[in-house]
Amino acid sequence: MSSIANVRSPLITNPSLTIGTYVRAEIEVRIWTGTSISDKPATPTYTLIKYNDSGDNNFPIELAELARDYIYTDYYTEAVDAVWIRYDADYYTASDPAGSPSSTGGKTWLCFDGYGYFEEGINPRESSNPAALSSVPSITPQLLQDNTTIYFIKGKDIKIPIFAESLATINYSSGGATSYWDAVDDFWDTYDVSWATTATTINITDNGNSNQKIQYVNITGTENLSDGDTIIIANTPFSYITTITLREICAPKFIPYRVIFYNKYGALQDIWFDKKSVETLNVTSSSYNRNIIEFSNTTPTQSYSVYKHFNKKFDVKANESITLNTGFITEDINEPIKQLLMSESVWIDDGTNVYPVNVSTQSLQIKKNINTKLISYTLDFIFAYDKIQNVR
């Protein structure tokens, strides 16, 4: 099992020796994709030199920002969701500052672009028995999202992020007709004729490659699903089971938007906003008063055209924004709504195109059934580009 680092939170480690007095450490840091052993590069990505005159042999380093430089939370084929990072350290004494160093065994982490909450304790978390989640919330879960209710629209795929090292077994319980499903490496993978039916058990496997550590159960043919169908994710060695309940969004009156975002586990997740939407165009510009007088070489009089702009606009910029509304949802969607607001990478899928957006809502009252009875949310998004193409 891997040691997991959520690198949107600090990853502070302390390569140290408890014997002797060392004043300098040379720390080699390697970052790579692929498998943890055979693809590890021979040449370090970074070499850090740390000095310590206090004699306590502590040489703390922060690795999260280095790892994040190699993770790309982009959409489609540009994405790199996970990397390995490792340090190895040599130590030098004051009496032999350039001589034979002492060394310690290094450590390797599997890094996701996730984060932990303050109350969950310090990074990193260990990939371990998922049954211990109730007592150790920082352990990597097999279901890489916090909600166990998933809303779906008939005809639209359902995508569920799974941690491959959990080696989960996934079953489907339905009273309806057959749909098709498979475990895929990427969120955007689409239906393939080789996919199994929902009557077939899916076994998540892990070949050790970083690009397969996060997998997605993709269900297509959702026209055949029914409200209340369940998906059972089981980890047999630890007798741990997660039950996902599917809830149908019935015949949306408005255009439904799928909002896709990286959640706290560094996995892509989506939320449907199927109620009223409002689009807004915001324009800014500068202006100046220009000289439009026309001089004549033949007469002493002047004139100007009433069709010319005396007050001339320039540097016109435009941004579009959109306000989306969920339907009535269950309380366990509160957590992914929070994570959506805290996400750095968000997209909107309107059914035809996928657009990068930023969440402009910065404050949100978290609703509870006991207070509001029916829960729904309104969020504002701004498209993450200028309407007038000015990419340089």
DSSP string, 303-317: EE-TTS-SEEEEEEE
Domain that holds residue 264: 254-392
Q: Rounded to whole angstroms, how far apart are CA atoms 318 and 309?
A: 21
Token digits of residue 346? 């968000």
Q: What own/partner pairs with CB < 8 Å and gap ≥ 24 does 357-360 have?
A: 357/259, 357/322, 357/381, 357/382, 357/383, 357/384, 358/382, 358/384, 360/321
**Pairing of β 257-262 and β 158-163:** unpaired
Q: Which region holds residue 20: left if phi is over 0, alpha if psi is between -120 and 50, else beta?
A: left
User: Which of 126, 153, 182 is where one domain is finished?
Assistant: 126
Q: Rounded to whole angstroms, how far apart are CA atoms 299 and 70?
A: 71
Q: Rounded to whole angstroms, how far apart are CA atoms 220 and 149?
A: 18
Domain at 341, CATH number: 2.40.30
In this structure, the answer to whether residues 277 and 374 fall within a common structural domain is: yes
In this structure, the answer to whether residues 110 and 140 fall within a common structural domain is: no
CA atoms within 13 A on the CB side of 8: 22
In this structure, the answer to whether residues 242 and 312 fall within a common structural domain is: no
In this structure, the answer to whether residues 266 and 378 fall within a common structural domain is: yes
In this structure, the answer to whether residues 58 and 191 fall within a common structural domain is: no
Question: What sections of the chain are H helices per DSSP?
Answer: 64-68, 334-342, 369-372
For residue 170, the one-letter residue type is I
Question: Total structural domains in the chain?
Answer: 3
DSSP β-bridge partners for residue 109: 85
Domain at 90, CATH number: 2.60.40
pLDDT tens for each residue of the chain, 392 residues long: 788 999 999 999 887 766 667 888 889 999 999 999 999 999 999 999 988 766 677 888 899 999 999 999 988 877 899 999 999 988 888 766 666 677 777 899 999 999 999 888 888 665 544 545 444 444 567 899 999 999 999 999 999 999 998 888 999 887 666 889 999 999 999 899 999 998 899 999 999 999 999 999 999 989 888 899 999 998 766 667 899 999 999 888 899 999 999 999 999 999 999 999 999 999 999 999 999 999 888 778 889 999 999 999 999 999 999 999 999 999 999 999 999 999 999 999 999 999 999 999 999 999 888 887 789 999 999 999 999 998 88
Q: Rounded to whole angstroms, how far apart are CA atoms 58 and 22?
A: 9
In this structure, the answer to whether residues 204 and 217 fall within a common structural domain is: yes
In this structure, the answer to whether residues 8 and 103 fall within a common structural domain is: yes
In this structure, the answer to whether residues 141 and 163 fall within a common structural domain is: yes
In this structure, the answer to whether residues 303 and 353 fall within a common structural domain is: yes
User: Which of 180, 213, 248 is where one domain is finished?
Assistant: 248
In this structure, the answer to whether residues 176 and 304 fall within a common structural domain is: no
Residue given tokens 């020796």 in the structure block:
17
Q: Report CA-CA distances (Å) from 310 to 276, 289, 290, 295, 296.
A: 42, 6, 5, 16, 19
The strand order across the sheet containing 169-173 reads 149-152, 240-248, 230-235, 169-173, 202-203
In this structure, the answer to whether residues 226 and 333 fall within a common structural domain is: no
**Pairing of β 149-152 and β 240-248:** parallel
In this structure, the answer to whether residues 55 and 154 fall within a common structural domain is: no
DSSP β-bridge partners for residue 159: 218
CB-based burial, 60-85: b 16+ in 10 Å, e otherwise: ebebbebbbebbebebeeebebbbbb
User: Which of 69, 102, 126 is where one domain is finished?
Assistant: 126
